[in-house]
Amino acid sequence: MKLNGQTVSRETQARLERFAQHFEKWAKSINLVAPSTRQQFWDRHVADSAQVFQLSPAPKTWIDIGSGGGFPGLITAILLAEKGAGRVHLVESNNKKAAFLRTAIRETGALAGVHAIRAEAAFGALPVAKAMSARALAELPLLLDYAAPWFVGDPEFTAFFHKGRDYQREIDKARDHWDFDLIKHQSKVDPGSVILEISNLAPSSGSKLAE
């Protein structure tokens, strides 16, 4: 099996297939993703999510905010299982979705834990991490608000955010308040989308956040 041109092991393929079965079962009663995209499960959701891990595959501790149906955080955790190291803390405030994620972890052996808290409450409630991810959660300025505490005192902390066709407007809006280093990775699944890799986040000198 290949994801975005990269071969995964039979064991990882089996984990992903178990997740697909589990997802389909729960999606009949819980709105895990937009119904119009369920038929594109492997490309629209799994392969798209796998790009985050493929950009930063070394085992580490992740924070995934707004985990919802498990994208991208649970896919990262399944891919980490093959390495036998690292962990993803899935942050999902909806209790039904959190229950789905917990059972998905048991079904797949993903290296993850679930925290039924809001994204803004994650810092201080979770262990130290080295990376953050989010997909289809909020506009970039708000994501940076959530991520900011994790960057303080850790120059190696990095965030990976999936963004759609309007991403440049969000970047411009975010720069009104934040300074950050940015790498734009073109999506291998959707030509109009990107994954924004953000590091060295700090309030901009002209922002009230810097006061």
Q: How far is CA 40 from CA 28, 34, 43, 102, 176, in A?
A: 15, 11, 6, 23, 36
Domains of the chain, start order: 2-210 (3.40.50.150)
- Using one digit for the tens of pLDDT, what is the confidence trace for 152-162? 999 999 999 99
Q: Indicate the pTM of the whole model.
A: 0.94
Taking the C-alpha atoms of residue 85 and residue 94, their distance in angstroms, rounded to an integer, is 27
Q: How would you classify residue 62: left for phi > 0, otherwise alpha for psi between -120 and 50, otherwise beta?
A: beta
- Using one digit for the tens of pLDDT, what is the confidence trace for 64-82? 999 999 999 999 999 999 9
- Using one digit for the tens of pLDDT, what is the confidence trace for 78-127? 999 999 999 999 999 999 999 999 999 999 999 999 999 999 999 999 99
